[in-house]
Amino acid sequence: MKIIDSIYINGEFVKPQGNQVFDLISPTTNKQIGQVVLGNEHDARTAIAAAKEAFKTFSQTAKAERIEYLKRMREAVSRRKDELVDVMVEEYGGTLQFCRMSMEFTLSGFTAAIATLEKFDFTKKMGFSEVQLTPLGVVGIIIPWNASNGFIAGKLATAVAAGCTAVIKPSEMSALQTQLMAECLHEAGLPAGVFNIVNGLGETVGAEISTHPDVAKISFTGSSTVGKIIAREASATLKRYTLELGGKSPNILLGDADFSKAIPTAIAAAFMNSGQACVAATRLLVPESRLEEAKELIQTMLPLFPVGDPKEETTAIGPMVSQKQYERVQGYIKLGIEEGASVLTGGLGHPEGLENGNFVKPTVFYNVDNKMRIAQEEIFGPVLSIITYKDEAEAVEIANDTIYGLQAYVSSANTERARRVASQINAGRVLVNGLNHDPEAPFGGFKQSGIGREFGIYGLEAYLEPKALIG
């Protein structure tokens, strides 16, 4: 059993003042694997003070120096890549396949920040004035459990690129993953106080960060509910914020799409990260005339996405992160049945032989109306709804009939047609004919999927304040 009893403040691992203990439970076996001692408000304040002090000098560093730090961070994380993957599989229950991909995504956070920074000019000429883009100050980074170290990398790399300093509050459920990440980042040898990591609860450490007057900006990833709380709290001191929230992504298969490719891609997009992904393509929009074909192909291809022990090479869908998350997903499967949707595969309960962990049967519903709650609310588990449409216009209408707008997917034999449909969808990213990620393209949501963008130039500018020197 591993005990995490330190937090990282001002370049050192220190004992937190908080003494509340949180048990770390394996999602695969529901046995205890560790314990974390949580920090409290005092710890958050100490970390903020360290970041504030470090900002005085770090904000003055040259771009070349910060590029060097980012390279060292990337190297330090890369050196312990395999351990980072293993701890993610163990603590979070992510599949080996997914955690390896997530690790590449984590590293790309640094690589992309370096690439953006190399091209970025911190002074611009506008009118007859000089506009200086200056770092905002101390940034509070508050993140969820579903790709914890990836979020730390992406957000911290951008903060460092901008010349900001940071206080990070991860999910307490990711304590083992955070500890290893903190050790890597410590190795990179940044000046003390540039980044600080405080384990603790949202309502204590998170709340302190989102209200403290010395925090200039919050970069948050998590649920829309908590995002709204943070926006309210942050407004008292007019903090800037970037909010990356929930999603209910539509995946439109156009009438001419090659289903032998589009259906396995649709399953992968729906069940990625065991369905615990904000960008999961959970609404599959198929032409009415091709519904039977879609259903048959899903049934044939689902065995290619086995549920099971996340440590196994072949497993595609692992357990839900916690018992609570398991119950939540069960609640939605029950709701779908009550709402009158038909179960194509899956349903309530554990898959056979996997009763000890938080495993869910990958569930596909059809006869789903887009107005049903299973089609409107984020489930965050392997549950897919098939919704039929009559023509392209109706497909776009259904796709946009949601409070969310984080990501969408379109498939067609004709890429031009797919792009034309893609440009009518209200979402921050639309993936055309496949599952691509571009770490330099903006990421973020329309509507209640969030405010602001991460990655690339938009991501970097969100950590900077323009100052015009006139005359």
Q: Which residues are catalytic?
A: 244
Q: Out of 8, 55, 58, 145, name the contact with ligand NAP by CB under 6 A.
A: 145
Distance CA 248, CA 270 (A): 10
Q: Which of 146, 242, 402, 448: binder of ligand NAP (CB under 6 A)?
A: 146
Among 107, 141, 164, 230, binds ligand NAP (CB under 6 A): 230
Q: Nearest distance from residue 146's CB to ligand NAP, in Å?
A: 5
> Shortest CA distance to 54 belongs to which of 179, 182, 194?
194
CA dihedral (326, 328, 331, 335) in degrees, to 10, reads -130
CA-CA distance, 109 to 313, in Å (whole number)? 25
User: Is residue 378 part of the contact set for ligand NAP (CB under 6 A)?
Assistant: yes
Q: Based on CB atoms, which residue is closest to ligand NAP, 276 or 412?
A: 276
* Assigned token pair, 379: 């489930």
- CA pair distance 24, 15, nearest whole angstrom: 18
Q: Does 36 bind ligand NAP (CB under 6 A)?
A: no
Q: In angstroms, rounded to a whole number, what is the distance separating the alpha carbons of residues 255 and 262?
A: 11
Q: Indicate whether 210 belongs to the interface with ligand NAP (CB under 6 A).
A: yes
Please report whether residue 206 would count as binding ligand NAP according to CB under 6 A. Answer: yes
383: nearest Cα among 368, 400, 398: 368
Residue 48 sits in the site that holds ligand NAP (CB under 6 A): no
Find the shortest distance in angstroms from Cβ 273 to ligand NAP.
9
Task: Write each residue from 390 to 409 as x if it is in contact with ligand NAP (CB under 6 A), else as -, in one continuous string.
Answer: ----------------x---
CB of 317 to ligand NAP, least distance (A): 17
State the minimum distance, in angstroms, from the CB of residue 186 to ligand NAP.
Answer: 21
Pair type for strands 407-411 and 429-432? parallel
* C-alpha to C-alpha distance for 335 and 224, rounded to whole angstroms: 21
Q: Are 276 and 321 in contact (CB under 8 A)?
A: yes
- Residue 84 or 207: which CB sits closer to ligand NAP? 207
State the minimum distance, in angstroms, from the CB of residue 450 to ligand NAP: 6
142: contact with ligand NAP by CB under 6 A:
yes
Q: In angstroms, give the least distance from the CB of 326 to ligand NAP.
A: 13
Does the footprint of ligand NAP cover residue 211 (CB under 6 A)? no
Which of 37, 38, 138, 226 touches ligand NAP (CB under 6 A)?
Answer: 226
Cβ burial of 59 (10 Å; 0-12, 13-18, 19+) is: middle
DSSP 20-53: -EEEEE-TTT--EEEEEEPP-HHHHHHHHHHHHH
Please pick, from the candidates 8, 110, 332, 380, the single residue that binds ligand NAP as defined by CB under 6 A: 380
How far apart, in whole angstroms, are the C-alpha atoms of residue 333 and residue 370?
16
Bridge partners of residue 221, in order along the sequence: 244
Q: Contacts with ligand NAP: how many residues (CB under 6 A)? A: 29
Q: Is 319 in the site for ligand NAP (CB under 6 A)?
A: no
Residue ranges binding ligand NAP (CB under 6 A):
142-146, 169, 171-172, 201-203, 206-207, 210, 221-223, 226, 229-230, 244-247, 278, 378, 380, 406, 450
